[in-house]
Structure formats: C-alpha cells, structure tokens
C-alpha cells in the first residue's frame, strides 16, 4: 500500500465519486456481513414460534417484506459502489496515461530512441491500465470488503457471546488469522512473476509494432512464416508468465476455503458439545461464511496490488527519468534570430565512455550554407541535432547569435529552426493540416505558395480531395517523393532563419531534385543552412564544408579547397563519383 501511496494523488480529481463509492461500500459491507446472520438469529425464530402462539399472517408478511428491502439496499449500494468506482477508474487512467505521454514529450531523443517502441507503448497502455485497476480496486474493495468483514465479525462476536460466552466467540474466530499466511505467500510469488509478465507483454507489443512497420519488407523477403513463428514464440512466453501468476493467484481461494472449512468444522463440534440452538448455530455459520468471503477478496486485492506495483516499477522508469533538456529558470528573451552558429569545445556521448563528438569547435556565420560530410557514424547528424537541443552536450556549448542554446526557451529556439529529415514523418491527417505544422497561423495562400516552392502543389491538387486528402499513418498513402515534398513545403512555410536538411532531396527523382535545388537557392538566401550530406551532388552550392572523421572536424573549406588538400574528402568524393 505504501508503494502506491504517492499515486493516490490521481484520486483527488475524483474525490466526489470516490467518496460516494466509499459510503455505498460501507452500506454494502454492513448489509452483507451482518444482515443475514441477524435475520436468522432474531427474525426467523419469532416467525417460527411455538404452535400455541403463532404470529398473525399480516405481521409475518410485514416482517418478510423487510427481507427484499435489505437485499434491495445491498444491491443498490453495491451497484452504485461499482459505478462510481468505474467512473473514477477511467478518469484515473486518463490522468496516468496523460502524465506518461507528457513525460515522453520532454525526454531527450536518446532516451526514446534507446528503447523499443513496442515496449514504450505497452508501458503507456497495459501498465497504466494495470495501475489504474489496482488503484480503483483499492478504492473499491479496500473499503467494501473490510466493511463486510468487520460487519460479519461483529455479528459472530455478538451472537457467540450472547449464546455461550467469550469461549465460543474465540473458537469461531480462531481460524481467521490463519488465512493471512496463504495471502502473504501468494503475494510474494505474484510480484516476482508480474514484472516478468509485463515485460513479456511489452515484447509481444514490440514485435507486433515492428511487424506492421515492416509490412513491405516482410512480404518482399517472404518472411511471413518467420514472423508468425517469432510472434507465436513471444506469445507462448507471455502465456507461460500469465499461467505462473494464475497458478498462485487461483490457489488462494481454495486455500482460504479449506481453512474456513476447518474453522466451521471446529465451530460445529464446539456448538454440539455446548448444546447450541439450531437457529443460533445457523446464524453463526452464515456470519463466519460472510467473514471468509471478504478475506478471499482482500487476498485477490493484495495480488492486484502486487501486479500494480510491478507495472508501477516499469512506468517509473519513464516517470522518474530526469528531464535534462528543459527551459532555464531565467531564459534570455529573443525574437527572430540571425543564425550565427558557434560550437565551442563540444563533446557528446550517447553512452558514457563512448564519445560521438570530441572537442569540436566551429563557427558558421549567419547566411552560410554549410555541408556536413564524412563517413557513416562520424558525428554529422549528432552535430546538427545539438543546435535545436534534441540532445544535450556533455562538455562545451552551442551558441546561436551569441546565446548559449541552454539559456533559451526551447519553444523560442526551435521556432527559429526548421528540420527536414531523410525519412520525413507525416501525421495521419490532411495534407493541409500537415503543412500547417510548419506555421499554425499561416493563411491558405501561404500554405499553397510553400507547396509550390517545394514542387508539391501540382500533385496535391491532382489528388481526389486536394489539400484535404488524408495521408495515412506516417504518410503511407503518399509516395516517398510526395512525402518528401510535403515535408519540404512544411519547412518552407516555417521560413526559419536556420535550416537543417538531412539529405532532404534523397527520395526525389532527378527532375524534382533539380527543381528543388533551384528553389533552395532562393530559400536559403539570408539563412543558415546545415546540410547533412550523404550524396555529394547536394553540396555543390555549399559555401562551407565541414569534414567529420571519428567525431572530430578533420577539415573545413570549400569543395575545391578540400578536394585539393584533404585526402579523406577526396577519397569520399571520388568513391561516390565512381559509383555514380
């Protein structure tokens, strides 16, 4: 319970429904635990009085009418308890998932990219649902079942003491403490296997997500049977984990029932020895039965708490991850930046002890078209991604117009930067709305002009619904070249002073590429451009080229200067030209 206590904050927004559920739970527990035993002990004997003094039929009917009223009260309170608990539960689930999703939005890319997408999805869906179930079950059965147990135990105590004294009460209740042992044993087993099951569920979700993302490759390479076999194996491991939990959790009820049977048997022997009246004995048995039932449910509640704790452990990996890229306490005030970039003694590593950039220093004046070239893994993309603070430098600093990027609000900094990646992502929305992401307040005319600049307007208006065409998940309904042109138009619409182009024309045919290169000449005037170049044909108009090698800037200059003076650049260029 203490483990989940910090998360009871999610109950605050649903205080009203939770309070109503608690009141209804107490009424339900009292009527369930004590109602029937008291009927058997006090009401039924008066009805079935000796034959020489029978009760009038009207009186019996009046007494009998109270029975459905008691059960109606029990049913109504149980229903309202469940309804209010469910209402609170879905609101809690919404809040937990929102906090989880919100945290993912502010964590650095290195954290998100370093984990399987399917596992992160599983944590946000399955683990939040399990935590929500545990919290609402605590709010529900954590009140209702103890109230039922207390009501039943009070009934046992009152009936036993009144009939034969304290000894009978002790005999009746002797077996109740023994039920704690199976609850504790099962709880320890469940928590170990719950974490394993949740992790396995994340693996299944990950394989599902990976398969759908690679649907074309699966069919192209004939991997249908292989993928089905891998998924079946993952599902089998999940089933094994689930059955291990079921093996222990389902053993709890029979164990408590056996213990309760021993207690009832002991009560029977003592009651016979003491000459207890039948109606008192029946009332005691019913009260005892009503006390063991909530114990079973509290045992199940304990198991769910253990599973909720296992889910919480997985969620806290995200929820407690420190946000290392955040707005400063007193950010510098900026408007539109000029685009002067400086990198001073920059060092960065994704993993400790394995630096990707090593003591990098460079200056890129505003208006410079700067190409970043070098072998794969040399640090080009990392270098560019430090400008919008997608990652945080380990040592040194990046400045824009003399401002350390860590001294600026993230929104202000990134508003001045447009990024077009090699594999652009479009959201499952209309083309028009995808373009508006570049600048939400843009007019229709501005959007269409940006599309023309990117040579996207003609193909867009040729679609059945034009700019209102849905692009599908990740833009799946568009071709690679069309997606790239939409992404370019989005960047053109942003009109930011700093552009980061990660081989932004790689998905285009030669004609479109030539046209966009011409458009880029106009677009980059007065802007600072970082081109992460994989093909040397894209850097012919660069005014500055930085050559990266093993995390360092090996050389800088124009194409002519580098080709004449830098062997690495010359070899990279010649090798690609020969391949072409």
What's the chain's length in residues?
580
Using the predicted structure, report yes or no on whether residue 485 has a pLDDT greater than 90.
no
In this prediction, residue 565 has a pLDDT band, given cuts at 50, 70 and 90, of confident
- In angstroms, rounded to a whole number, what is the distance separating the alpha carbons of residues 262 and 436? 72
Closest residue by Cα to residue 122 from 132, 114, 130:
130
> Per residue in 449-476, pLDDT tens?
988 888 888 888 998 889 898 888 877 7
| Better-predicted residue by pLDDT, 89 or 45 | 89
CATH T-level fold of 423-495: Rossmann fold (3.40.50)
| Res. 173: pLDDT tops 70 | no
Cα dihedral: 552, 555, 559, 561 (round 10): 180
Sequence ranges of the domains in the chain: 5-319, 329-416+498-580, 423-495
| Mean pLDDT (whole number) for 252-256 | 72
Can you name the CATH fold of 5-319?
Answer: ABC transporter transmembrane region fold (1.20.1560)
Greatest mean pLDDT range, 234-248, 293-307, 431-445: 431-445
Please classify residue 1 by burial: count the beta carbons closer than 10 Å to its beta carbon, then call 0-12 exposed, 13-18 middle and 19+ buried.
exposed
Q: What tokens does 56 get? A: 């009038």
Confidence band, pLDDT 50/70/90 cuts, at residue 400: very high
Across 113-122, 154-163, 487-496, 520-529, least confident range: 154-163
State the average pLDDT for the chain.
79
Q: What pLDDT is stored for residue 315 in this prediction?
A: 84
Residue 343 confidence (pLDDT) = 92
Would you call 354 helix, strand, or coil by DSSP? strand
Question: Is the confidence at residue 331, as pLDDT, over 80?
Answer: yes
Nearest to 150 by CA among 34, 253, 36: 34
β-sheet with 552-557: strand ranges across: 417-420, 498-502, 528-532, 369-373, 544-549, 552-557
Is 356 in a helix, a strand, or coil? strand
**Regarding beta strands 544-549 and 369-373, do their DSSP bridges make them parallel or antiparallel, or are they unpaired?**
parallel
pLDDT at site 342: 93
Q: Percent of the chain at pLDDT above 70?
A: 77
User: Which of 230, 234, 198 has the alpha carbon at shortest distance from 122?
Assistant: 198
3-state class of 458 per DSSP?
helix
Least confident span in 117-121, 149-153, 200-204: 149-153
Range with the poorest average pLDDT among 255-269, 289-303, 426-440, 502-516: 502-516
CA atoms of 89 and 393, how far apart (whole Å): 42
Helices (H), 320-409: 380-385
Region 43-62: mean pLDDT is 65
Q: Do domains 5-319 and 329-416+498-580 have the same CATH topology?
A: no
Name which residue leads in pLDDT, 63 or 130. 130
pLDDT, average across residues 73-98: 82
Helix (H) or strand (E) holding 530: strand 528-532
Radius of gyration of the chain (CA): 35
In angstroms, rounded to a whole number, what is the distance separating the alpha carbons of residues 356 and 353?
10
Gap between the Cα atoms of 1 and 138, Å rounded? 9
Query: Could you tell me the pLDDT band of residue 332, with boundaries at 50, 70 and 90?
Result: confident
What is the mean predicted confidence (pLDDT) over 340-363? 88
pTM, 2 dp: 0.70
DSSP state of 54: P
Average pLDDT rounded to a whole number, residues 526-538: 80
Q: What percentage of residues in the chain have a pLDDT greater than 90? A: 9
> What crossing angle do the helices spanning 480-494 and 510-523 adopt, rounded to 10°?
10
Give the pLDDT score at 249.
Answer: 67
Q: Outline where DSSP puts E strands in 314-427.
A: 341-351, 354-364, 369-373, 395-400, 403-404, 417-420
| CA separation for the pair 46, 24 (Å, rounded) | 30
Q: Indicate the CATH number for domain 329-416+498-580.
A: 3.40.50.300
């Amino acid at each position: 319970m203490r483990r989940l206590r910090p998360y009871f904050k999610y109950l605050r927004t649903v205080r009203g429904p939770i309070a109503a559920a608690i009141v209804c739970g107490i009424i339900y527990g009292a009527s369930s635990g004590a109602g029937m035993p008291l009927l058997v002990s006090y009401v039924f004997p008066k009805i079935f009085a000796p034959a020489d003094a029978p009760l009038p039929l009207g009186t019996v009917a009046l007494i009998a009418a109270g029975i459905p009223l008691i059960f109606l009260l029990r049913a109504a309170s149980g229903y309202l308890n469940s309804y209010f608990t469910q209402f609170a539960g879905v609101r809690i689930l919404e809040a937990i998932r929102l906090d989880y999703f919100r945290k993912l939005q502010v964590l650095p890319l290195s954290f998100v990219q370093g984990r399987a997408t399917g596992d992160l999805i599983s944590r946000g869906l399955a683990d939040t649902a399990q935590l929500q179930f545990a919290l609402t079950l605590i709010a529900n059965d954590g009140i209702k079942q103890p109230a039922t147990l207390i009501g039943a135990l009070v009934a046992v105590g009152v009936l036993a003491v009144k009939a034969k004294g304290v000894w009978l009460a002790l005999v009746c209740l002797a077996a109740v403490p023994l039920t704690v042992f199976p609850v504790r044993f099962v709880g320890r087993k469940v928590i170990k296997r719950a974490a394993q099951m949740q992790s396995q569920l994340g693996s299944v979700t990950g394989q599902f997500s990976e398969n759908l993302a690679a649907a074309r490759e699966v069919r192209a390479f004939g991997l249908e049977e292989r993928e089905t076999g891998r998924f079946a194996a993952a599902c089998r491991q999940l089933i094994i984990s689930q059955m291990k939990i079921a093996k222990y959790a389902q053993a709890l009820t029979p164990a408590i029932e056996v213990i309760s049977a021993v207690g009832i048997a002991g009560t029977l022997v003592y009651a016979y020895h003491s000459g207890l009246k039948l109606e008192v004995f029946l009332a005691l048995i019913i009260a005892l039965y009503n006390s063991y039932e909530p114990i079973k449910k509290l045992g199940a509640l304990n198991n769910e708490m253990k599973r909720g704790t296992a889910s919480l452990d997985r969620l806290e990996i995200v929820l407690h991850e420190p946000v290392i890229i955040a707005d400063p306490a007193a950010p510098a005030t900026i408007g539109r930046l000029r685009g002067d970039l400086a990198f001073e003694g920059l060092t960065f590593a994704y993993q400790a002890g394995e630096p990707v950039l090593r003591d990098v220093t460079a200056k890129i004046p505003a208006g410079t078209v700067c190409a970043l070239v070098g072998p794969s893994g040399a640090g080009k993309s990392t270098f560019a991604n430090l400008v919008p603070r997608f990652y945080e430098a380990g040592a040194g600093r990046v400045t824009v117009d003399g401002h350390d990027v860590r001294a600026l609000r993230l929104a202000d900094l990134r508003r001045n930067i447009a990024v077009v990646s090699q594999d652009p992502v479009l959201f499952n929305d209309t083309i028009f709305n995808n373009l508006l992401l570049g600048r939400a307040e843009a007019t229709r005319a501005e959007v269409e002009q940006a599309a023309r600049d990117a040579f996207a307007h003609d193909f867009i208006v040729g679609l059945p619904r034009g700019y209102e065409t849905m692009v599908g998940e990740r833009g799946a309904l568009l071709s690679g070249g069309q997606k790239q042109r939409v992404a370019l138009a989005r960047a053109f619409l942003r009109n930011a002073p700093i552009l980061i182009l990660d081989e932004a024309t790689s998905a285009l045919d030669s004609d479109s590429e030539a046209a966009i290169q011409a458009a880029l000449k106009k677009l980059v005037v007065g802007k600072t451009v970082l081109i992460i170049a994989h093909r040397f044909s894209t850097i012919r108009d660069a005014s500055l080229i930085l050559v990266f090698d093993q995390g360092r800037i090996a050389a800088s200059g124009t194409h002519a200067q580098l080709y004449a003076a830098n062997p690495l650049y010359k070899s990279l260029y010649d090798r690609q030209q020969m391949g072409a």
